[in-house]
Structure 1
């Protein structure tokens, strides 16, 4: 039963990202900041630490491809980046303790890495004219702030849910 719940939760996060952007005011602070929610990636990262590492990478492939199909003009960026980030994240979590604070900070670093990968790919193929300093100020930092708020809200419930899932798998 929990397997279905996890799949539904991750699918819900995929949908919530676009709905959240529609509900968010276009310029909430009077700046030209671009807020990019990565609720899906954060959910999969927490699942891969506290739930099942291999299934987390598989979710990365599946939802990375869906993300490319639905949201981007170029197929392959997120299809490559999601599982890559999740895989590297899992390798790093073998080095660090998997307490909730470390996982939260590492999740923010993973979001930063994903944003940097996407920016660099788009910059290389000349789809953006934004320089790196503007990217940091207008997109990366506001996105990290938004995702930090999300992590603060969901970190503990995710930890409990995914640990219960892992315990059920062992039984």
Structure 2
């Protein structure tokens, strides 16, 4: 049963992101800002650093594909960016200490990389025409603030759960 807990958690977060977007009041700040929840990728980052790198990359591919199929018009953007962001996150974390504060900070940097990459891909294929300054004010900063709040709430439970998962993998 414990083996299915991680996939169920990730599926729940995938669904919760969609629900959060629908239930979050868009006119909270006069509709001037776009808050993008990245709860799923944050959990994949924490899984990769505290659980298993291999599982983090695999779940990055799987949920990137599912994310593309459900939420985007172009298949491949998140399929490519989720595992790439996870790999870059792991690479950075190999250089610095893996305490929870630094993991949280690098998670935010990785989300900024992900958001910026999606923006530039959309700009490249002419889905958006926003300039980078407007993108930063309207979407990037609010997204980072929202996800920082999520990280503050979820970082310690994720750390504990994924460390237990890593221990189970070692014992099997």
Query: How high is the TM-score relative to the length of structure 2?
Result: 0.97
Structure 2 gap ranges (5+): none
Show the counterpart of 1:36. 36
1:1-171 residue pairs with structure 2 within 5 A? 1-171=1-171
The alpha-carbon deviation at position 3 of structure 1 amounts to: 2.2
Matches of 1:91 and 1:128, distance apart in 2: 31
Aligned residues: 171
Deviations 1:94-121 (A, max 9, x none): 1111110000000000100000100000
2: distance between equivalents of 1:2 and 1:93? 27
Q: Which runs of 4+ in 1 moved over 3 A?
A: none
Quick one: distance in 1 between partners of 2:156 and 2:7?
19
Aligned mates of 2:3, 2:71 — CA distance in 1: 26
In the TM superposition, what is the alpha-carbon distance from 1:35 to its structure 2 partner?
Answer: 0.4
Q: Calculate the aligned-residue CA RMSD, in Å.
A: 0.8
State the 1:31 CA deviation. 4.8
Matched residues in 1 for 2:126 and 2:170: separation?
49
Point out where structure 1 has 5 or more consecutive residues left out of the alignment: none
* Counterpart-to-counterpart distance in 1, 2:3 and 2:152: 24
Q: What CA deviation, in whole Å up to 9, does each residue of 1:141-160 have, x standing for no partner? A: 00000000000000000001
Distance between the aligned counterparts of 1:24 and 1:78, measured in 2? Answer: 23
SS in 1 for 2:26: coil
